[in-house]
Structure 1
Amino acid sequence: MTGAARTNTRDIARAAVRAELAQVAFELFRREGFDKVTLDDLAAAAGVSRSTFLRYFGTKEDAVLGAFEGQDRRVADALRARPADEDQWTALRHALDTVIERYHMDPAGSLETLRLVRETPALCARQLEKQHSWRPALAQALAERAGSEEPTLAQSVRAAAALDCLNVALDHWLASDGRLDLVALLDEAFRAIQRPR
């Protein structure tokens, strides 16, 4: 076995353990309430030591929000890959499909996760903090599409507005208990900014 194969196997195993720990944590948070569960409770429920759990997740919040890691990079990459003649707003809207695709793959699980996040102040604040860090990556991708090295104020505003559209669409989807179409909600949110009444 080559070093690359060993590393790949190790990465796959690590991802599997991480996913299992996240699932155990989510079930415990849902059953007991996020604030009542300690790191020791999480480790015990997963059958690992506290230090092992902390090797995979630095905080309780990360155990829930770890699934969202790297989304800023994926959205920015999707934005760069959009057709060159597409306007920035349309490109942003379609780049966000990379975020909502997980909601299509597992609507029930995504709804439960979103509900836990929105109903837990610490998780909601941490998710918004993480999402705030997406803005520079999206603005930079917009700048690169326009052949510029630095994003303009307008590009930064568009990136921020796009993320707000995503959050409002998700809030409406959650309020409908997943009955409304998330893609339609996101499209409607983008149209509301493009054509304010």
Structure 2
Amino acid sequence: MTSTPGLRERKKAETRQAVYKAALHLIAEHGFDNVTVEAIADVANISRRTFFNYFTDKADAVMYGEEERHRRLLEKFRARPASESGWQALRHAAEELMEEYGEPDREWVLRVRLARRHPSLLARQLAGTGALERELAQDLAARDGEEVLRARVLAGAFLAAIRIASAVWLEEDQSRGLTETTMAALAELDPAFGG
């Protein structure tokens, strides 16, 4: 009996992942506007009603992977030792997250490229990043006793460096890995934030 909740949660996670992958691949193949929730549900082998138990719409399903990364980044940041400055904790959390996920896979590249092409996905991505920035800033202010403005600047600069590193890696320089590119971008901010 004690294994049932664990099994139930695993099944939910598997279903959520299957819907996310189905949405991502269908939209990459056919375009955002040409894919319906019904088509995603069919590929994921679930009913339309079940789809809505997990996601509000197809944009929500496509952006699930990014939102999951945001959640993991917050967890890793919050778990960093109190002896680290906020900036050090952010850098170490980013490095841990990148080690956990490894170099970008096809799904990550697809999601990023889709978000750039579709206004509704881009809007959702921006909203998600804004929410992440606010949460990081709150945690930074609580962690270091920073004033709100400095905490917001620090969180914003951190996320901007990650965004820029991703753009450079995707568009210009895949001669080195995304992890290396991201850590180099963050290192550019060390003098300002005390890395």
How would you bin the TM-score normalised by the shorter chain?
A: 0.7 to 0.9
Q: Matches of 2:91 and 2:29 in 1, distance apart? A: 35
- In structure 1, list runs of 5 or more residues that go unmatched: none
Q: What is the deviation of 1:55?
A: 1.4
Give runs of aligned pairs for residues 1-197 of structure 1, distance below 5 A. Answer: 1-2=1-2, 5-101=3-99, 103-104=101-102, 106-146=104-144, 148=145, 152-176=148-172, 178-194=174-190
- The alignment of Structure 1 onto Structure 2 pairs a total of residues equal to 192
Q: What RMSD in Å do the two structures reach over aligned CA positions? A: 2.5
Question: Any conservation in 2 of the 1:80–1:145 contact (CA below 8 Å)?
Answer: no
Q: What is the deviation of 1:137?
A: 1.7
Pair 1:122–1:143, CA change in 2 (3 A): same
Q: Matches of 2:109 and 2:68 in 1, distance apart? A: 20
CA distances 1:17-76 after superposition (whole Å, capped 9, x unpaired): 111122122111111011221212222333432212111211111111112335444323
Pair 1:176–1:183, CA change in 2 (3 A): same
- In structure 2, list runs of 5 or more residues that go unmatched: none
Q: Matches of 2:116 and 2:184 in 1, distance apart? A: 21
CA distances 1:120-159 after superposition (whole Å, capped 9, x unpaired): 222122111111101222122222322x4x8521011101
Question: Any conservation in 2 of the 1:102–1:110 contact (CA below 8 Å)?
Answer: no
Point out the more displaced range, 183-192 or 80-89: 80-89
Q: What is the deviation of 1:99?
A: 4.3
Q: Matches of 2:68 and 2:113 in 1, distance apart? A: 21
Question: Any conservation in 2 of the 1:111–1:177 contact (CA below 8 Å)?
Answer: no
Identity %: 35
Pair 1:121–1:103, CA change in 2 (3 A): farther
Q: What is the deviation of 1:106?
A: 5.0
> TM-score scaled to structure 2, two decimals?
0.83
Q: Matches of 1:68 and 1:194 in 2, distance apart? A: 26
Q: What is the deviation of 1:194?
A: 4.3
Q: Matches of 2:15 and 2:5 in 1, distance apart? A: 15
